[in-house]
Structures are given as structure tokens and as C-alpha cells.
Amino acid sequence: MKRFTWFIPFLLLVVLLPAGIASAQEPVPTPSDDDVNAVAKELYCPVCENIPLDVCPTQACAQWRDLIRLKLAEGWSEADIKDYFVDQYGARVLAEPPRSGLNWLVYIVPPVLLALGVFILYRTLRSMRNTAETIAPAPPVGHDNDYLNRVEEELRKRH
């Protein structure tokens, strides 16, 4: 019996060790719909035109939202999920174009055009005001023109 005294502690160690390891691991929380939609609103449906993935009613989009939920449950970050969709469907699925190459024009051209428009409007209004100020005042009533003097005299007589 003394030969097997080491066997019982060894058996307990082998049986209880995996249970201790499993209980030490934290369960992975299931991502909420808000978590899924936070990622999905940054992506556009690869099938439909100009519809964000979080509001697209198609079955394909529902499957893609489930895929996002699965990836989040596996611990993927939002950037990893976006990269996955870009690898699968191209950069057109991103709500915000990547800031590289000619895509920089999307970020630069509108503010430049807005500033240019404000500048042109300012200059136009300023030149209109200056033109209005430089217009000569109306000549006085006593004209040298005989015709105008006669017309004014006739008007005074009628009143």
C-alpha cells in the first residue's frame, strides 16, 4: 500500500489542475449590438450602393454583422476588422477613405474651395461698396438744360 501513496496526490493533481486553469480564464464577453454597430457604421455594404452596414436590411449585411460580432468575440480590434473587410472587398467598403494617395484630395479640396469662395465673395462685396461710394451725386435742381427747366416749371404750375 505504501507503493501507491504517491499515486493519490498525483491523481488529484492531474484531475484538478485543468479545472483550476479553466476557472482562472475569464470568459470572453459577448459583444453587444452597440459594439457591433459601432464597427458596422464605419463600413459600407459591399453589395448595396451607399448604405452603411449597420442599417442595411439585406441578408448579406446581417451575415456580415454576425461576422463582426464573431470577430469582436475573438478579440479582434475595430482596425483589424476594417482591414479584414478591406482585404476581402476593397477600400470602397470604408466609410472614410484612407488618407493616402489621391484620397488626400477629399480632405484638402473642399476646405480650399470654401476659403476661395469666401475670399471671392468678400472681394466682390467690397468692390460693390466702393463702386456705390464713387458714383457722383445727383445734379442740383437748377439745371442749365432749358428743357428740364421748362418741365419743372410746368409741373409746378399744375400743383
What pLDDT does 26 receive? 57
Give residue 53's pLDDT.
85
- Residue 38: its pLDDT value, please? 87
Do 105 and 45 fall within a single domain? no
pLDDT (0 to 100) of residue 24: 47
CA distance 3 to 74: 47
What integer pLDDT is reported at residue 115 of this predicted model? 92
Total domains in the chain come to 2
Residues 66 and 110 in one domain: no
Residue 45 near residue 56, CB atoms below 8 Å: yes
Residues 59 and 113 in one domain: no
pLDDT at 141: 55
Say if 13 falls within a structural domain.
no
Per-residue pLDDT of the chain (159 residues; tens, 9 = 90+): 556 566 666 655 666 656 555 554 555 567 778 888 888 888 888 887 788 888 888 888 889 899 999 999 998 898 899 999 888 888 888 887 777 777 777 778 889 999 999 999 999 988 888 776 666 566 555 557 888 888 888 988 987
Helix (H) or strand (E) holding 135: none
Measured CA to CA, the distance from residue 28 to residue 31 in angstroms comes to 9
Q: What residue numbers bound the domain in which 123 lies?
A: 99-132
